């Protein structure tokens, strides 16, 4: 087909060209949204007197019958009809004579732009629900193990003790920003293009407000040229899911590392691991690795559509057909990644002993010791230098900083009193680490037991 009809052309398109331009094999995904838009358009045409009440009713019955067939997998899609819109229109016209009037005042340009916005609204709602489910799984795991201490890492080197719950809640925060970005993208997409025609609206007195209300859009597009060529809302969606994929990848990476024998903090349930074809002892975190890998695919789709759009003149160009495959694949990839990560997180077992052992190194309290020196009146830079020198001295002696003598500390501090025993002495390493964490209870956002408990209660209430 050529633009929906043969009037301008005498012959059929070249078969290779026809196959190359065909989109029905992927844009049929918009079928239910196309039907929704067509019902609203038919009602509007009836309201302005271009269709009789009987014709509107017949068209709606025909569209309902087509929807039932599509949902039941019985609708016959024809590649020769090029896209989802022509397939539905041809089927309707064949069954309902008034169907030939349905395209009055409408172009496939504003039709597909409307369908995509309707699709995005539904997709984002599902994505946001999937994000909430993953957040719930993380909060549940954090609450279950809220007193487990492990090292926090910078540069993948042990830095300071933190709570495992605090680590998990960091990803809850990231996911909440993803949720907000998706909701924001959907809000900006909540504009109805229908009525813009191919580029310049219509000479018919279309009542776009009627259609807007029926399709539950917040606003009507203000510029017909922009309306049919705008794909910013898809770019924003791809940007949101690409960044969401990065967050999922980072989460997966942490869990892959922590489930390795070198860390042994976590263990995935068997259902989310696989064995090796050669090494019978292996238990590979394949689901997390796949999530990590698919983040590159999401980034690639964003770059792909940005590249398609960057050189397009106003208004509609056929290049825009390339928006759907990358957006649909990104949507499926992101949703699947969210769903599998939620289940994988729920399957995790935590080895509190391994976490505590890794957090027991006294060097993790070096900053706390420097803070204690600051409380005695020593400038922080000087305190930092003293504790750094103590770490070096302990390494050179093949010992640990909690085993240095009082004389050693006084020498390093040039005679000043050092409260090393207060920070490093006495209790077991685990209790020492918990004491250090609880000392942070006055600081909002810190990994103290009190603050983490407060954050867990906050998220439980928000996600309820």
| ∠ CA 234-300-174, rounded to 5° | 70
Measured CA to CA in angstroms, residue 151 lies from 67, 143, 382, 449 at distances of 56, 18, 25, 15
Known catalytic residue at 247: no
Q: Say how far residue 284 (Cα) sits from the centre of its chain.
A: 25
What is the CA angle 14-103-51, rounded to 5?
155
- All residues at 6 or more sequence positions from 141 whose CB lies less than 8 Å from its CB, including other chains: 168, 345, 346, 348, 350
- Cα torsion 104, 108, 112, 113: sign: negative
Instruction: Decide if 220 contacts 192 (C-beta within 8 A).
Output: yes
Say if CB 42 and CB 102 are below 8 A apart.
yes
In whole angstroms, what is the distance from residue 399 CA to residue 199 CA? 77
Using CA atoms in the order 400, 404, 409, 412, what is the torsion angle rounded to 10 degrees?
Answer: -60
Determine the Cα–Cα distance for residues 156 and 179; give it in Å rounded to an integer: 28
Alpha helix segments (H runs only) across 222-350 = 224-229, 232-258, 286-309, 323-346
CA atoms in the 13 A half-sphere facing the CB of 213: 5
Say whether 347 sits in a helix, a strand or coil: coil
| 116 φ, ψ (degrees, to nearest 5) | -65, -35
Q: Is residue 276 annotated as a catalytic residue, yes or no?
A: yes
Q: Which of 25, 80, 260, 276 is catalytic?
A: 276
CA distances from residue 17 to 108, 155, 268, 442 in whole angstroms, order as listed = 20, 53, 50, 69
Question: What residues are annotated to the active site?
Answer: 155, 276
């Amino acid at each position: 087909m050529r633009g929906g009809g043969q009037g301008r052309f005498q012959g059929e398109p070249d078969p290779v060209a026809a196959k190359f331009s065909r989109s029905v094999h992927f844009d049929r995904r918009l079928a239910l949204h196309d039907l929704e838009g067509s019902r609203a358009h038919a009602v509007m045409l009836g309201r302005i007197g271009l269709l009789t009440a009987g014709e509107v009713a017949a068209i709606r019955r025909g569209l309902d019958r087509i929807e039932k067939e599509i949902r039941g997998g019985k609708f016959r899609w024809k590649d020769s009809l090029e896209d989802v819109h022509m397939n539905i229109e041809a089927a309707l016209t064949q069954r309902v004579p008034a169907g030939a009037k349905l395209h009055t005042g409408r172009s496939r340009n504003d039709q597909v732009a409307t369908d995509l916005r309707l699709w995005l609204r539904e997709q984002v709602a599902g994505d946001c629900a999937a994000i909430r489910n993953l957040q719930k799984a993380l909060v549940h795991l954090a609450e279950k193990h809220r007193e487990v201490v492990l090292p926090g890492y910078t540069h993948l080197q042990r830095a300071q003790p933190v709570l495992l719950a605090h680590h998990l809640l960091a990803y809850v925060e990231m996911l909440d920003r993803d949720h907000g970005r998706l909701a924001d993208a959907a809000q900006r997409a909540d504009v109805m293009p229908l009525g813009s025609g191919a580029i310049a609206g219509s000479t018919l007195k279309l009542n776009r407000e009627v259609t807007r209300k029926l399709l539950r859009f917040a606003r009507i597009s203000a510029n017909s040229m922009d309306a049919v060529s705008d794909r910013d809302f898809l770019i924003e969606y791809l940007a949101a899911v690409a960044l969401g994929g990065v967050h999922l990848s980072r989460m997966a990476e942490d869990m892959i590392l922590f489930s390795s024998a070198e860390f042994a903090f976590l263990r995935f349930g068997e259902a989310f691991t696989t064995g090796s074809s050669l090494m019978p002892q292996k238990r590979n975190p394949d689901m997390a690795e796949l999530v990590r890998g698919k983040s590159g695919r999401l980034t690639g789709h964003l770059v792909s559509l940005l590249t398609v759009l960057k050189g397009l003149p106003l208004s509609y160009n056929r290049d825009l057909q390339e928006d759907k495959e990358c957006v649909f694949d990104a949507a499926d990839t992101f949703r699947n990644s969210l769903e599998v990560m939620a289940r994988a997180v729920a399957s995790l077992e935590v080895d509190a002993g391994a976490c505590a052992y890794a957090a027991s190194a006294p060097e993790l309290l070096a900053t706390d010791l420097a803070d204690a020196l600051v409380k005695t009146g020593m400038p922080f830079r000087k305190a930092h230098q003293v504790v750094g020198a103590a770490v070096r001295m302990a390494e050179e002696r093949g010992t640990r900083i909690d085993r240095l003598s009082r004389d050693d500390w006084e020498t390093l501090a040039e005679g000043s009193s050092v409260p090393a025993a207060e920070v490093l002495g006495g209790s077991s390493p685990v209790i020492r680490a918990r004491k250090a964490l609880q000392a942070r209870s006055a600081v909002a956002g810190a990994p103290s037991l009190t603050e983490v408990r407060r954050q867990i209660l906050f998220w439980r209430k928000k996600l309820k």
